């Protein structure tokens, strides 16, 4: 499978010249001429790619036109070109669905963490201090006789900004 750079080079070397587009040259020009020529070259390249891929007015590329270009560039096997192209499209769609599910799971996890954070953050100030941790541990029967100095040591372990309290990001990392 060819990389995007190789495909771009193939387009620029083989297809674009046939459309009458002149690629950017490295001749020495003044700085302003170089900028103008580079802008013109970029515009010419964009027009060539739009022409090659048959882009619709909404900025989308027609599947059949893209498939034809991919075939002509030899990016898929000749015997099964169209099915290979559509299989790739299906794989991309499946990846998109997977990423959406992954994002949904992250949102659900964050929501659960926020609810747990609120249990600890009794005063609702957005931070968990040693007193609040002590209270929750006592309610759960998990305090094991720890005094405030031991709980403050626990906070220091996760307190990345050294403010003596645990904010939500620190809590999230701790629970991670």
Q: Which helix (H) or strand (E) holds 164?
A: none
Q: Give 1-25 pLDDT, tens digit per residue.
A: 445 566 556 655 665 555 454 444 4
CA distance 139 to 146: 13
Scanning the chain, the segments in alpha helix (DSSP H) are: 4-10, 31-53, 63-72, 81-120, 130-140, 148-158, 168-175
Task: Using pLDDT thresholds of 50, 70 and 90, give the confidence band for residue 174.
Answer: confident
- C-alpha dist (Å) from residue 153 to 104, 146, 149, 162, 168: 35, 11, 6, 12, 18
> Tokens at residue 153, please?
């040591």
Q: Give 22-52 pLDDT, tens digit per residue.
A: 444 444 445 556 666 777 777 776 666 666 6
Residues comprising the chain, all counted? 176
CA distance 158 to 175: 10
Q: Give 85-107 pLDDT, tens digit per residue.
A: 667 777 788 888 888 989 999 99
> Tokens at residue 49, please?
């790619």
Q: Give 56-93 pLDDT, tens digit per residue.
A: 666 666 667 777 766 766 666 555 555 666 677 777 88
């Amino acid at each position: 499978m060819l990389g995007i750079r190789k495909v771009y080079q193939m387009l620029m070397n083989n297809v674009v010249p046939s459309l009458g587009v002149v690629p950017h040259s490295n001749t020495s020009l003044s700085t302003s001429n170089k900028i103008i020529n580079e802008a013109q070259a970029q515009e010419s390249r964009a027009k060539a790619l739009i022409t090659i891929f048959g882009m619709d007015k909404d900025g989308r590329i027609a599947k059949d036109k893209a498939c034809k270009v991919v075939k002509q560039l030899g990016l898929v096997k000749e015997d099964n070109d169209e099915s290979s192209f559509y299989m790739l499209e299906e794989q991309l769609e499946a990846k998109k669905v997977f990423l959406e599910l992954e994002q949904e799971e992250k949102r659900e996890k964050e929501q659960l963490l926020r609810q747990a954070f609120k249990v600890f953050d009794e005063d609702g100030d957005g931070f968990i201090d040693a007193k609040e941790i002590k209270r929750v541990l006592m309610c759960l029967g998990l305090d094991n006789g720890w005094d405030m100095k031991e709980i403050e040591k626990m906070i220091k372990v996760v307190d990345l900004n050294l403010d003596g309290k645990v904010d939500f990001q620190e809590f999230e990392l701790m629970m991670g």
